[in-house]
Every structure is written in structure tokens, then in C-alpha cells.
Amino acid sequence: MSGQSLLVPGEITPVRSVPGNIRRPEYVGKPAPTPYTGPEIQDADTVERMRIAGRIAAQAMEEAAKHIAPGVTTDELDRVAHEFMIDHGAYPSTLGYRGFPKSLCSSLNEVICHGIPDSTVLRDGDIVNLDVTAYINGVHGDNNATYLCGEVDEESRLLVERTRESLNRAIKAVRPGRQINVIGRVIESYAKRFGYGVVRDFTGHGINSSFHSGLIIPHYDSPHATTVMQPGMTFTIEPMLTLGTHEYDMWEDGWTVVTKDRKRTAQFEHTLVVTETGAEILTLP
């Protein structure tokens, strides 16, 4: 495994501005979002709007990822994604969500999720997760991926490759009439082949006009995830696999989640809609 030193918090720059003509989600400026009470099954118009949001989120993530290189700060990656979304008329969904101060999450190495972009400088050998969500036309599109920075050790490279594969396999398991726990069953059984941990306390989620609708998508075989998938349901699948334990600690910032043993972790995510025969990915660039 990489001999990189562990991460420490950096300096966070001031909140980036968003033009007044761009529509904000209802939670901006509030301590928490209003609980979602609408349906988990969306109509064709909502799904089409989510395709647009998802495409912008995917393109913004791709644009930021082009700048991943040793010496670049995570704050610079945030700037690139922020400006891309603004230029396309979208609001960065994470900005102001429960007080989160940035327009994407940047989670490096031992950070499982929700890392805050700051003055941290990328190093050769890092693995870098970017999590980008765009809000436009009243709906969200949410995706993330883990990228290699420079020359990455083989153990980390395989973790990233296999985490991507676990998402692909989970997407293929989506079918109307099946219970949601089939998703986690597929991910967990694949991860166990390699001795990876599967993070349990952070999950996929329902998404639509709400960033997190209340629908939970576990990435392990949960006996409680018995909701039956139906055409028109929209949610994310976002497995987080680790080289060690699935247990975690949280930094004092209240956001940054790191593996308890500080071993590396990777994540991939798409927003999906259940179709009559399977799933359509809504976060394609």
C-alpha cells in the first residue's frame, strides 16, 4: 500500500458566489432541507429534467477531473466544477446543503466521503474522489468517481477498478419487481472476493426534486431494504469499498469521514431511473 502520510485539514477559501438568476434549492440558507413527502416514482417530465441535471453534473465532474495532477489543490478542482455548473445555468447542490461550504466533495485516500475542498495539495500517488451534484429545472443529478493522481500503487489502483466494477454490477441487478437489497447483495458479494470492507453507514439515496428523498439504498445485503423497485423510481447507487475496516471516524468539521484504520477507500456513483427492463443511468456526460 502507498506510504503517503495521512491527510490533515487545509484552509477553506470563502464561499463562491452564484448569480442571482440561477434557481437555488429550497434548503439554501436553512440549517436543513424540508423533509420530502412526494413520490419515489417520477413522471416522464421529471425524469427528462433529471437527465439534464445529471448530464451537467457528469460533465462538471469530468471537467474538474481533467485538472487532477500533483501540485493542484482540491479547492482548484472545486472552482472548476463550480464555474462549469454556473456557466450551464445549474446550481451546485452541495453548496449550502446543511451548511456544506463548497460546490463538490473531494475525498482523498483514507477519506470515505464528504471531504471539503481546501488548500490540500494533491500528491503523486493519491486517489481522488470527486462527488458532484447539479440542480437545474427543479431537480438534482448526483454522481461521483475516483481518479488516480500520477503514479498510483497497484493495491490502490485495483481498489479503484474493482469499486467501479461493483457499481456496474449493482446497476445490472436493478429490475422492477426486485427488492432494493439485491443491490447491496451484489456489491457485498463482489467486494468479499477481494477482502474489501463495504461501508454501511453511508448509502445511496432517493433523488428527484429532493437531494435526498428518504429512500435508502444500502451497499450491503440489508434485511431491512425490502422496498420493491418499480419503473420510474429514481435513486443513486454509490458503493464505498475499503482496503480494511468499514468503520469510520469523522473530522471535527462534521463532514469529512475517514476509515477508522486509515486505509484507503474508493467510491463510484450514478443516478438511475428504474425502467421496464432494468435501469437507465441519468448521469452520463
Annotated binding site: 114, 131, 142, 205, 212, 238, 269
DSSP H helical ranges for 129-214? 154-173, 181-192
Residue numbers in the known binding site for substrate are 114, 212
DSSP H helical ranges for the chain? 44-65, 74-87, 154-173, 181-192
Residue numbers in the known binding site for a divalent metal cation are 131, 142, 205, 238, 269
Give the Cα-Cα-Cα angle 90, 91, 93 (nearest 5 degrees).
125
Q: Answer for the pair 198, 240: CB distance below 8 angstroms, yes or no.
A: yes
Which regions of the chain does DSSP assign to beta strands (E)?
A: 91-92, 105-108, 111-113, 127-136, 139-148, 197-198, 204-205, 216-217, 234-237, 240-242, 248-250, 257-259, 265-267, 270-274, 279-281
SS3 78: helix
Distance between CA atoms of residues 236 and 124, nearest Å: 30
Find how far residue 125's CA is from the centre of its chain: 21
* Grid cell listed for 147: 481518479
Q: In terms of DSSP bridges, do strands 270-274 and 234-237 run parallel, antiparallel, or are they unpaired? A: antiparallel
> Residue 131 pairs with which residues in a beta bridge?
105, 144
Distance between CA atoms of residues 184 and 218, nearest Å: 6
Residue 27, CB-side half-sphere exposure with 13 Å CA sphere: 24
Question: Is the backbone of residue 76 left (phi > 0), alpha (psi -120 to 50) or beta?
Answer: alpha
